[in-house]
Homo-oligomer: A and B are copies of this chain.
Amino acid sequence: MSKPIKLAILGLGTVGTGVINLINDNLDELKRRSGRDIIITEVGTRRQRDDIDASIIQNDDLMAVAASDNVDIVIEVIGGTTFAKDIIMHAIKHGKHVVTANKALLAEHGNEIFALAEANNVHVAYEAAVAGGIPIIKVMREALAANKVDWLAGIINGTGNFIMSEMRDTGRPFADVLKEAQDLGYAEADPTFDVEGIDAAHKLALLASIAFGIPLQFDKVYCEGITAITLQDVNYAEELGYRIKHVGFAVRRTNDKGEEGIELRVHPTLIPQDALLANVNGVKNAVLVNSHPLGQTLYYGDGAGAGATASAVMADVMDLVRVLGTDNSSQHGHHVPHLSFLPKQLSDTPILRAEQMITGYYLRVHAYDNPGVLADITRILSDAGINIDAILQKPAHKAGQVPIIILTLPVVESQMNLAIEKIEKLDAITDKVVRIRLDELA
Protein backbone atom coordinates (compact mmCIF):
# COMPACT_ATOMS: atom_id res chain seq x y z
CA MET A 1 0.00 0.00 0.00
CA SER A 2 1.21 3.50 -0.85
CA LYS A 3 1.96 6.18 1.71
CA PRO A 4 -1.03 7.21 3.80
CA ILE A 5 -2.92 10.38 2.93
CA LYS A 6 -2.61 12.87 5.77
CA LEU A 7 -5.54 15.13 6.55
CA ALA A 8 -5.85 18.22 8.70
CA ILE A 9 -9.25 19.42 9.88
CA LEU A 10 -9.60 23.12 10.64
CA GLY A 11 -12.55 23.67 12.93
CA LEU A 12 -14.08 21.04 15.20
CA GLY A 13 -17.73 22.03 15.19
CA THR A 14 -20.54 19.79 13.99
CA VAL A 15 -19.03 19.17 10.55
CA GLY A 16 -15.43 18.68 11.71
CA THR A 17 -16.60 16.18 14.29
CA GLY A 18 -18.75 14.53 11.62
CA VAL A 19 -15.67 13.99 9.44
CA ILE A 20 -13.79 12.37 12.34
CA ASN A 21 -16.76 10.12 13.04
CA LEU A 22 -17.10 9.15 9.39
CA ILE A 23 -13.46 8.11 9.19
CA ASN A 24 -13.78 6.12 12.41
CA ASP A 25 -16.96 4.39 11.22
CA ASN A 26 -16.05 3.72 7.59
CA LEU A 27 -12.26 3.45 7.45
CA ASP A 28 -12.55 -0.07 6.10
CA GLU A 29 -14.84 1.04 3.25
CA LEU A 30 -12.51 3.97 2.46
CA LYS A 31 -9.46 1.69 2.25
CA ARG A 32 -11.26 -1.01 0.27
CA ARG A 33 -12.17 1.63 -2.32
CA SER A 34 -9.00 3.76 -2.40
CA GLY A 35 -6.25 1.31 -1.60
CA ARG A 36 -4.71 3.98 0.63
CA ASP A 37 -4.66 4.56 4.32
CA ILE A 38 -6.29 7.85 5.26
CA ILE A 39 -5.32 9.41 8.57
CA ILE A 40 -6.06 12.63 10.36
CA THR A 41 -2.71 13.92 11.54
CA GLU A 42 -3.66 17.35 12.90
CA VAL A 43 -6.70 19.35 13.85
CA GLY A 44 -6.87 23.08 14.25
CA THR A 45 -9.06 23.99 17.19
CA ARG A 46 -9.03 26.80 19.68
CA ARG A 47 -10.32 24.56 22.46
CA GLN A 48 -8.48 21.33 23.25
CA ARG A 49 -10.81 18.35 23.10
CA ASP A 50 -10.26 15.26 25.22
CA ASP A 51 -12.54 13.03 23.12
CA ILE A 52 -10.17 13.09 20.15
CA ASP A 53 -7.78 10.18 19.51
CA ALA A 54 -4.43 10.91 21.15
CA SER A 55 -2.55 10.24 17.91
CA ILE A 56 -4.06 13.41 16.40
CA ILE A 57 -2.17 16.62 17.15
CA GLN A 58 -4.47 19.39 18.38
CA ASN A 59 -3.14 22.85 17.65
CA ASP A 60 -4.74 26.22 18.34
CA ASP A 61 -2.48 27.88 15.77
CA LEU A 62 -4.65 27.12 12.72
CA MET A 63 -2.27 28.87 10.31
CA ALA A 64 0.49 26.50 11.40
CA VAL A 65 -1.76 23.48 10.80
CA ALA A 66 -2.69 24.76 7.33
CA ALA A 67 1.00 24.86 6.38
CA SER A 68 2.20 21.79 8.27
CA ASP A 69 4.64 19.41 6.57
CA ASN A 70 2.63 16.66 8.19
CA VAL A 71 -0.46 17.38 6.06
CA ASP A 72 -1.45 16.65 2.42
CA ILE A 73 -5.04 17.90 2.43
CA VAL A 74 -6.53 20.69 4.53
CA ILE A 75 -10.23 20.44 5.34
CA GLU A 76 -11.66 23.87 6.16
CA VAL A 77 -14.89 23.74 8.15
CA ILE A 78 -14.60 26.96 10.13
CA GLY A 79 -17.00 29.01 8.03
CA GLY A 80 -17.06 32.76 7.50
CA THR A 81 -15.40 34.79 4.77
CA THR A 82 -12.48 36.52 6.51
CA PHE A 83 -10.23 34.25 8.57
CA ALA A 84 -11.36 31.23 6.52
CA LYS A 85 -10.17 33.02 3.40
CA ASP A 86 -6.79 33.86 4.88
CA ILE A 87 -6.21 30.34 6.03
CA ILE A 88 -7.23 28.74 2.71
CA MET A 89 -4.97 31.11 0.77
CA HIS A 90 -2.17 30.25 3.21
CA ALA A 91 -2.72 26.50 2.74
CA ILE A 92 -2.75 26.85 -1.06
CA LYS A 93 0.50 28.82 -1.03
CA HIS A 94 2.04 25.98 0.95
CA GLY A 95 1.01 23.47 -1.70
CA LYS A 96 -1.85 21.91 0.23
CA HIS A 97 -5.00 20.67 -1.44
CA VAL A 98 -8.06 22.15 0.20
CA VAL A 99 -11.51 20.71 0.83
CA THR A 100 -14.11 23.20 2.02
CA ALA A 101 -17.82 23.37 2.77
CA ASN A 102 -17.76 27.18 2.74
CA LYS A 103 -20.35 28.39 0.19
CA ALA A 104 -20.27 32.04 1.26
CA LEU A 105 -16.50 32.21 0.92
CA LEU A 106 -16.42 30.57 -2.51
CA ALA A 107 -19.42 32.47 -3.88
CA GLU A 108 -17.83 35.77 -2.87
CA HIS A 109 -14.09 35.06 -3.31
CA GLY A 110 -13.97 31.87 -5.37
CA ASN A 111 -12.53 33.45 -8.51
CA GLU A 112 -9.49 34.63 -6.54
CA ILE A 113 -9.13 31.39 -4.56
CA PHE A 114 -9.38 29.14 -7.62
CA ALA A 115 -6.88 31.27 -9.55
CA LEU A 116 -4.37 30.94 -6.70
CA ALA A 117 -5.00 27.18 -6.62
CA GLU A 118 -4.36 26.88 -10.38
CA ALA A 119 -1.15 28.87 -9.99
CA ASN A 120 0.01 26.57 -7.19
CA ASN A 121 -1.13 23.40 -8.93
CA VAL A 122 -3.40 22.32 -6.10
CA HIS A 123 -7.10 21.54 -5.98
CA VAL A 124 -9.80 23.27 -4.00
CA ALA A 125 -12.71 20.86 -3.71
CA TYR A 126 -16.11 22.01 -2.52
CA GLU A 127 -18.79 19.33 -2.94
CA ALA A 128 -20.12 20.09 0.55
CA ALA A 129 -20.65 23.78 -0.27
CA VAL A 130 -23.86 23.22 -2.26
CA ALA A 131 -26.82 21.04 -1.27
CA GLY A 132 -24.92 19.26 1.51
CA GLY A 133 -24.64 15.56 0.82
CA ILE A 134 -26.21 15.67 -2.65
CA PRO A 135 -23.29 15.27 -5.08
CA ILE A 136 -24.45 18.08 -7.32
CA ILE A 137 -20.97 19.53 -7.92
CA LYS A 138 -19.62 16.20 -9.15
CA VAL A 139 -22.75 15.58 -11.19
CA MET A 140 -22.61 18.96 -12.92
CA ARG A 141 -18.85 19.00 -13.48
CA GLU A 142 -18.37 15.37 -14.49
CA ALA A 143 -21.56 13.40 -15.10
CA LEU A 144 -23.11 16.15 -17.24
CA ALA A 145 -19.77 17.13 -18.80
CA ALA A 146 -20.99 16.30 -22.31
CA ASN A 147 -24.21 18.29 -21.98
CA LYS A 148 -25.16 21.87 -22.64
CA VAL A 149 -27.12 23.06 -19.64
CA ASP A 150 -30.28 25.01 -20.50
CA TRP A 151 -31.45 25.72 -16.98
CA LEU A 152 -31.44 24.43 -13.46
CA ALA A 153 -33.87 24.90 -10.58
CA GLY A 154 -32.96 24.02 -7.02
CA ILE A 155 -34.40 23.87 -3.55
CA ILE A 156 -31.06 24.64 -1.97
CA ASN A 157 -31.90 26.09 1.42
CA GLY A 158 -33.24 23.55 3.90
CA THR A 159 -34.47 26.10 6.43
CA GLY A 160 -36.53 27.96 3.87
CA ASN A 161 -37.95 24.71 2.52
CA PHE A 162 -38.84 23.54 6.02
CA ILE A 163 -40.77 26.78 6.60
CA MET A 164 -42.63 26.60 3.28
CA SER A 165 -43.47 22.90 3.84
CA GLU A 166 -44.76 23.48 7.36
CA MET A 167 -46.86 26.51 6.40
CA ARG A 168 -48.63 24.39 3.83
CA ASP A 169 -48.96 21.22 5.90
CA THR A 170 -50.03 22.81 9.17
CA GLY A 171 -51.70 26.03 8.05
CA ARG A 172 -49.56 28.10 10.38
CA PRO A 173 -48.18 31.51 9.39
CA PHE A 174 -44.56 32.33 8.58
CA ALA A 175 -43.57 33.84 11.94
CA ASP A 176 -44.92 30.85 13.85
CA VAL A 177 -43.09 28.29 11.73
CA LEU A 178 -39.87 30.31 11.79
CA LYS A 179 -39.99 30.17 15.58
CA GLU A 180 -40.40 26.37 15.39
CA ALA A 181 -37.47 26.10 12.97
CA GLN A 182 -35.35 28.07 15.43
CA ASP A 183 -36.42 25.83 18.32
CA LEU A 184 -35.52 22.73 16.25
CA GLY A 185 -32.09 24.16 15.42
CA TYR A 186 -32.88 24.42 11.68
CA ALA A 187 -32.75 28.22 11.72
CA GLU A 188 -30.24 30.57 13.36
CA ALA A 189 -31.23 33.10 16.01
CA ASP A 190 -30.66 35.65 13.22
CA PRO A 191 -32.35 33.88 10.32
CA THR A 192 -31.53 36.54 7.69
CA PHE A 193 -29.18 34.39 5.58
CA ASP A 194 -31.79 31.67 5.20
CA VAL A 195 -35.13 33.50 5.01
CA GLU A 196 -33.89 36.36 2.84
CA GLY A 197 -32.46 33.89 0.31
CA ILE A 198 -28.79 34.90 0.70
CA ASP A 199 -27.61 31.37 1.48
CA ALA A 200 -29.49 30.08 -1.57
CA ALA A 201 -27.97 32.86 -3.68
CA HIS A 202 -24.45 31.82 -2.63
CA LYS A 203 -25.14 28.27 -3.75
CA LEU A 204 -26.85 29.37 -6.96
CA ALA A 205 -23.81 31.45 -7.93
CA LEU A 206 -21.66 28.32 -7.65
CA LEU A 207 -24.11 26.13 -9.58
CA ALA A 208 -24.48 28.69 -12.36
CA SER A 209 -20.73 28.97 -12.90
CA ILE A 210 -20.27 25.25 -13.36
CA ALA A 211 -23.43 24.96 -15.45
CA PHE A 212 -22.58 27.66 -17.98
CA GLY A 213 -18.84 28.20 -17.65
CA ILE A 214 -18.99 31.75 -16.32
CA PRO A 215 -17.02 33.39 -13.49
CA LEU A 216 -18.63 33.50 -10.05
CA GLN A 217 -20.96 36.51 -9.86
CA PHE A 218 -22.77 36.34 -6.55
CA ASP A 219 -23.37 40.09 -6.58
CA LYS A 220 -25.55 39.75 -9.67
CA VAL A 221 -27.95 37.16 -8.28
CA TYR A 222 -31.48 38.55 -7.92
CA CYS A 223 -32.45 37.59 -4.41
CA GLU A 224 -35.89 37.52 -2.82
CA GLY A 225 -36.71 35.68 0.41
CA ILE A 226 -39.82 34.08 1.85
CA THR A 227 -40.70 36.55 4.59
CA ALA A 228 -43.60 38.07 2.64
CA ILE A 229 -45.32 34.78 1.81
CA THR A 230 -48.74 34.52 3.44
CA LEU A 231 -50.93 31.51 4.14
CA GLN A 232 -53.51 33.06 1.87
CA ASP A 233 -51.16 32.77 -1.12
CA VAL A 234 -50.05 29.28 -0.14
CA ASN A 235 -53.70 28.18 -0.16
CA TYR A 236 -54.69 29.93 -3.39
CA ALA A 237 -51.67 28.36 -5.09
CA GLU A 238 -52.72 24.89 -3.91
CA GLU A 239 -56.26 25.48 -5.13
CA LEU A 240 -54.86 26.23 -8.59
CA GLY A 241 -52.67 23.09 -8.64
CA TYR A 242 -49.40 24.73 -7.60
CA ARG A 243 -47.14 24.76 -4.57
CA ILE A 244 -45.02 27.67 -3.38
CA LYS A 245 -41.36 26.76 -2.88
CA HIS A 246 -38.24 28.87 -2.50
CA VAL A 247 -36.31 28.02 -5.64
CA GLY A 248 -33.02 29.13 -7.15
CA PHE A 249 -33.00 29.39 -10.95
CA ALA A 250 -30.10 29.68 -13.37
CA VAL A 251 -31.42 30.01 -16.92
CA ARG A 252 -29.66 30.48 -20.24
CA ARG A 253 -31.64 32.78 -22.58
CA THR A 254 -30.97 33.59 -26.19
CA ASN A 255 -32.64 36.67 -27.62
CA ASP A 256 -33.84 37.08 -31.20
CA LYS A 257 -30.41 38.43 -32.20
CA GLY A 258 -28.82 35.18 -30.98
CA GLU A 259 -27.21 36.95 -28.00
CA GLU A 260 -26.96 34.88 -24.86
CA GLY A 261 -27.78 36.10 -21.39
CA ILE A 262 -28.13 34.34 -18.08
CA GLU A 263 -30.77 34.76 -15.40
CA LEU A 264 -29.63 34.17 -11.84
CA ARG A 265 -32.44 34.45 -9.35
CA VAL A 266 -33.71 33.00 -6.08
CA HIS A 267 -37.29 33.71 -5.09
CA PRO A 268 -40.53 32.10 -3.94
CA THR A 269 -42.04 30.30 -6.92
CA LEU A 270 -45.29 28.53 -7.74
CA ILE A 271 -44.40 25.16 -9.26
CA PRO A 272 -46.83 22.40 -10.32
CA GLN A 273 -47.98 20.22 -7.41
CA ASP A 274 -47.17 17.01 -9.23
CA ALA A 275 -43.57 18.00 -10.04
CA LEU A 276 -41.07 15.98 -8.02
CA LEU A 277 -39.52 19.28 -6.87
CA ALA A 278 -42.86 20.28 -5.32
CA ASN A 279 -42.74 17.11 -3.24
CA VAL A 280 -39.33 17.80 -1.72
CA ASN A 281 -40.35 18.54 1.86
CA GLY A 282 -38.94 19.64 5.19
CA VAL A 283 -35.21 20.36 5.31
CA LYS A 284 -34.50 18.26 2.19
CA ASN A 285 -32.79 19.76 -0.85
CA ALA A 286 -33.09 18.89 -4.54
CA VAL A 287 -31.71 20.22 -7.80
CA LEU A 288 -33.42 19.74 -11.17
CA VAL A 289 -31.17 20.19 -14.20
CA ASN A 290 -32.37 20.49 -17.77
CA SER A 291 -29.59 19.87 -20.25
CA HIS A 292 -29.14 18.84 -23.85
CA PRO A 293 -29.24 16.03 -24.88
CA LEU A 294 -29.89 14.44 -21.49
CA GLY A 295 -33.15 16.19 -20.62
CA GLN A 296 -34.30 16.61 -17.03
CA THR A 297 -32.50 14.89 -14.18
CA LEU A 298 -33.09 15.47 -10.48
CA TYR A 299 -30.85 14.99 -7.45
CA TYR A 300 -32.34 14.78 -3.96
CA GLY A 301 -31.15 14.37 -0.38
CA ASP A 302 -30.05 16.01 2.84
CA GLY A 303 -28.84 19.56 2.25
CA ALA A 304 -27.23 19.93 5.66
CA GLY A 305 -26.25 18.07 8.81
CA ALA A 306 -23.04 16.51 10.09
CA GLY A 307 -23.38 13.18 8.27
CA ALA A 308 -24.37 14.57 4.88
CA THR A 309 -21.69 17.26 4.95
CA ALA A 310 -19.00 14.82 6.10
CA SER A 311 -20.02 12.49 3.25
CA ALA A 312 -19.43 15.26 0.72
CA VAL A 313 -16.16 16.38 2.31
CA MET A 314 -14.81 12.85 2.26
CA ALA A 315 -15.97 12.24 -1.33
CA ASP A 316 -13.70 15.16 -2.23
CA VAL A 317 -10.88 13.59 -0.23
CA MET A 318 -11.38 10.29 -2.08
CA ASP A 319 -11.17 12.12 -5.41
CA LEU A 320 -7.94 13.78 -4.30
CA VAL A 321 -6.53 10.44 -3.17
CA ARG A 322 -6.87 9.31 -6.77
CA VAL A 323 -5.12 12.34 -8.29
CA LEU A 324 -2.28 12.24 -5.78
CA GLY A 325 0.63 10.05 -6.82
CA THR A 326 2.05 7.33 -4.63
CA ASP A 327 4.46 9.92 -3.21
CA ASN A 328 1.48 12.23 -2.50
CA SER A 329 2.61 14.85 -5.04
CA SER A 330 0.03 16.02 -7.51
CA GLN A 331 0.16 14.14 -10.80
CA HIS A 332 0.01 17.25 -12.97
CA GLY A 333 -2.36 15.50 -15.32
CA HIS A 334 -5.70 16.72 -16.47
CA HIS A 335 -8.05 17.36 -13.65
CA VAL A 336 -11.62 18.48 -13.35
CA PRO A 337 -11.47 22.30 -13.61
CA HIS A 338 -12.67 24.10 -10.47
CA LEU A 339 -15.57 25.70 -12.31
CA SER A 340 -16.07 22.73 -14.66
CA PHE A 341 -14.77 24.67 -17.66
CA LEU A 342 -11.08 25.52 -18.11
CA PRO A 343 -10.20 28.90 -16.54
CA LYS A 344 -9.37 30.40 -19.95
CA GLN A 345 -12.65 29.11 -21.35
CA LEU A 346 -14.95 30.96 -18.97
CA SER A 347 -17.27 33.19 -20.93
CA ASP A 348 -18.40 36.74 -20.32
CA THR A 349 -22.03 35.99 -21.13
CA PRO A 350 -23.90 38.81 -19.40
CA ILE A 351 -26.05 38.21 -16.35
CA LEU A 352 -29.47 39.70 -17.10
CA ARG A 353 -30.88 42.48 -14.94
CA ALA A 354 -34.07 41.72 -13.04
CA GLU A 355 -36.19 43.72 -15.52
CA GLN A 356 -34.95 41.50 -18.37
CA MET A 357 -35.91 38.23 -16.71
CA ILE A 358 -38.78 36.15 -18.04
CA THR A 359 -41.12 34.19 -15.76
CA GLY A 360 -44.77 33.42 -15.30
CA TYR A 361 -46.58 35.20 -12.48
CA TYR A 362 -49.16 34.66 -9.78
CA LEU A 363 -50.91 37.97 -9.06
CA ARG A 364 -53.24 38.63 -6.17
CA VAL A 365 -55.23 41.81 -6.67
CA HIS A 366 -57.66 43.22 -4.11
CA ALA A 367 -60.48 45.23 -5.62
CA TYR A 368 -63.82 46.72 -4.68
CA ASP A 369 -66.37 44.46 -6.25
CA ASN A 370 -67.40 46.97 -8.92
CA PRO A 371 -68.73 45.85 -12.26
CA GLY A 372 -65.97 46.17 -14.83
CA VAL A 373 -62.93 45.88 -12.54
CA LEU A 374 -61.99 42.44 -13.87
CA ALA A 375 -62.38 43.75 -17.42
CA ASP A 376 -60.10 46.69 -16.59
CA ILE A 377 -57.40 44.42 -15.16
CA THR A 378 -57.47 41.91 -18.00
CA ARG A 379 -57.38 44.75 -20.55
CA ILE A 380 -54.25 46.21 -18.93
CA LEU A 381 -52.56 42.79 -19.01
CA SER A 382 -53.65 42.17 -22.57
CA ASP A 383 -52.41 45.61 -23.70
CA ALA A 384 -49.01 44.75 -22.18
CA GLY A 385 -48.91 41.51 -24.18
CA ILE A 386 -49.35 39.40 -21.07
CA ASN A 387 -51.27 36.14 -21.53
CA ILE A 388 -53.52 34.97 -18.74
CA ASP A 389 -53.38 31.27 -17.91
CA ALA A 390 -55.99 31.10 -15.13
CA ILE A 391 -58.21 33.39 -13.05
CA LEU A 392 -59.73 32.69 -9.67
CA GLN A 393 -62.15 35.22 -8.21
CA LYS A 394 -63.02 34.51 -4.60
CA PRO A 395 -66.09 35.78 -2.69
CA ALA A 396 -65.62 39.09 -0.94
CA HIS A 397 -63.67 38.58 2.29
CA LYS A 398 -64.15 42.04 3.69
CA ALA A 399 -66.71 44.72 3.04
CA GLY A 400 -67.14 44.80 -0.71
CA GLN A 401 -63.57 43.72 -1.49
CA VAL A 402 -62.72 40.63 -3.54
CA PRO A 403 -59.36 38.96 -4.03
CA ILE A 404 -58.71 38.19 -7.69
CA ILE A 405 -55.97 35.65 -8.43
CA ILE A 406 -54.42 35.67 -11.89
CA LEU A 407 -51.82 33.27 -13.27
CA THR A 408 -49.92 34.48 -16.33
CA LEU A 409 -47.75 32.85 -18.94
CA PRO A 410 -44.06 33.88 -18.97
CA VAL A 411 -43.46 37.58 -19.57
CA VAL A 412 -40.51 39.96 -19.39
CA GLU A 413 -40.42 41.47 -15.92
CA SER A 414 -40.29 45.09 -17.12
CA GLN A 415 -43.61 44.55 -18.92
CA MET A 416 -45.13 43.11 -15.78
CA ASN A 417 -43.84 46.06 -13.73
CA LEU A 418 -45.61 48.52 -16.05
CA ALA A 419 -48.84 46.53 -16.03
CA ILE A 420 -48.88 46.29 -12.24
CA GLU A 421 -48.26 50.03 -11.97
CA LYS A 422 -51.33 50.63 -14.11
CA ILE A 423 -53.46 48.11 -12.23
CA GLU A 424 -52.58 49.73 -8.91
CA LYS A 425 -53.79 53.09 -10.28
CA LEU A 426 -57.30 51.76 -10.95
CA ASP A 427 -59.85 53.34 -8.61
CA ALA A 428 -61.28 49.97 -7.61
CA ILE A 429 -57.92 48.61 -6.43
CA THR A 430 -57.48 48.81 -2.68
CA ASP A 431 -54.00 47.38 -2.02
CA LYS A 432 -50.62 46.80 -3.59
CA VAL A 433 -50.70 43.88 -6.02
CA VAL A 434 -49.06 40.76 -4.55
CA ARG A 435 -46.89 38.99 -7.09
CA ILE A 436 -45.07 35.67 -6.89
CA ARG A 437 -43.19 34.14 -9.80
CA LEU A 438 -44.42 30.92 -11.40
CA ASP A 439 -42.55 28.24 -13.32
CA GLU A 440 -43.95 25.12 -14.98
CA LEU A 441 -40.48 23.47 -14.91
CA ALA A 442 -41.18 22.23 -18.43
Contact = CB atoms under 8 A, between A and B. Distances in A.
A294 B301 contact: yes
A133 B213 contact: no
B297 A144 contact: no
A146 interface: yes
A48 interface: no
A307 B293 contact: yes
A4 B408 CA distance: 49
Interface stretch (A81-89, A177-185, A198-206, A330-338): A330-338
Nearest to A339: B33
10 contacts: A25-B148, A25-B293, A31-B345, A32-B341, A34-B145, A142-B319, A147-B311, A298-B301, A324-B334, A331-B331
Interface string A22-36: 100110011111111
A134 B299 CA distance: 9
A322 B333 contact: yes
Contact of A300 (B145, B213, B298): B298
B301 A300 contact: no
A276 B133 CA distance: 18
A32 B145 CA distance: 10
Given A135-B297, A294-B311, A323-B334, 5 more contacts: A33-B213, A139-B139, A142-B315, A298-B300, A322-B336
B337 A333 contact: no
Interface in A272-311: 274, 276, 279-280, 291-302, 305-308, 310-311
Given A138-B138, A294-B133, A295-B133, A145 B307 contact: no
A33 B279 CA distance: 33
A390 interface: no
Given A142-B315, A331-B333, A334-B34, A293 B276 contact: no
A343 B388 CA distance: 61
A32 B345 contact: yes
A74 to B, nearest CB: 17
B340 A33 contact: yes
Contacts of A335: 322
Contact of A295 (B18, B299, B301): B301
Contact of A213 (B32, B325, B341): B32
Nearest to A27: B146
A317 B144 CA distance: 11
Contacts of A148: 25-26, 29
Contacts of A26: 146-148, 292-293
Nearest to A136: B143
A145 B301 contact: no
A299 B291 CA distance: 15
Interface string A133-164: 11100110011111110000000000000000
Contacts of A322: 333-336
A293 B18 contact: yes
A302 to B, nearest CB: 5
Contacts of A143: 127, 135, 138-139, 312, 315
A146 B293 contact: no
B311 A302 contact: no
Contacts of A314: 145-146
B334 A21 contact: no
Nearest to A340: B33
Contact of A297 (B127, B146, B279, B301): B301
Contact of A279 (B276, B302, B306, B311): B276
A231 B382 CA distance: 47
Nearest to A310: B293
A323 B139 CA distance: 18
A127 B147 CA distance: 15
